[in-house]
Amino acid sequence: MIILAKNHDLLYKFFLYIKMNSKKNPLILSLFVIISLLLSGCNGKLPGGDARKNPADPKKRIAKNLADGRGFKLSEVGKSGGGVFEFASSNELWRASLDTIDFMPLASVNYSGGIIITDWYSTNQNSNESIKISIRFLTNEIRADALDIKVFNKKCVTQSNCVTSEKEGGINNELKQKILKTAAIYEKEKKDKKKK
């Protein structure tokens, strides 16, 4: 109580100072308004833990935090707990895309950004031709316009002399059809599981 009374007394003196000097310097008035808004957001409580409610021993504090659900154990990492990772594996379109191009090395996979980019891939180690696939997800629904697939072709005469171009048509459509069919199968399996 004594601390609160001293803080209120200090705040009152500060308010009087602002009142007398606000006409000379409007910056002080705006600073006072910002500080008072920030302090009112705390509801009079300073952030941080209450030492009376938390044990002093770190091991006991850790045990209390785990009991309250404010931590995690390494033994529980693999268990189902929700989150973005579980959602990514339950999205049929995403899973179907990864399964379709699983033979290729991946350069970048970003579920939240909705894009999969493979690394350059060729069927033969000595081949001078390789491809790269980019799959962008426009929606999570299984439909024809859900995916934007680009296939790039790289032909090299020598290690440093390469020409890269985008392939149109054939392989793009084949990939899209394969992904959509696989996603439809996954969705049907998911619905069948829910019925059981």
pTM score, two decimals?
Answer: 0.53
Residue 64 covered by a domain:
no
Q: Could you give the C-alpha distances from 166 to 7, 45, 154, in angstroms and in order? A: 68, 61, 9
Residue 170 covered by a domain:
yes
- For the sheet with 115-118, list strands across it: 106-110, 115-118, 129-137, 147-156, 162-167
Q: What is the pLDDT of residues 118-164, one digit of tens each?
A: 998 888 766 788 889 999 998 888 888 889 999 998 888 887 888 88
Residue 178 covered by a domain:
yes
For residue 124, report the phi and psi dihedrals to the nearest 5 degrees. Answer: -120, 135
Residue 10 covered by a domain:
yes
Q: Is 92 found in the same domain as 14?
A: no
Q: What is the pLDDT of residue 116?
A: 92
Q: Is 181 found in the same domain as 118?
A: yes
- pLDDT category at 40 given cuts 50, 70, 90 is low
What average pLDDT is seen over the chain? Answer: 76
Residue 137 forms beta bridges with which residues? 147
Q: Is 89 found in the same domain as 24?
A: no
**Total structural domains within the chain:** 2
- Domain, as residue range, for 123: 84-195
Q: Is 110 found in the same domain as 22?
A: no
Q: What is the pLDDT of residue 84?
A: 42
Q: Is 101 found in the same domain as 180?
A: yes
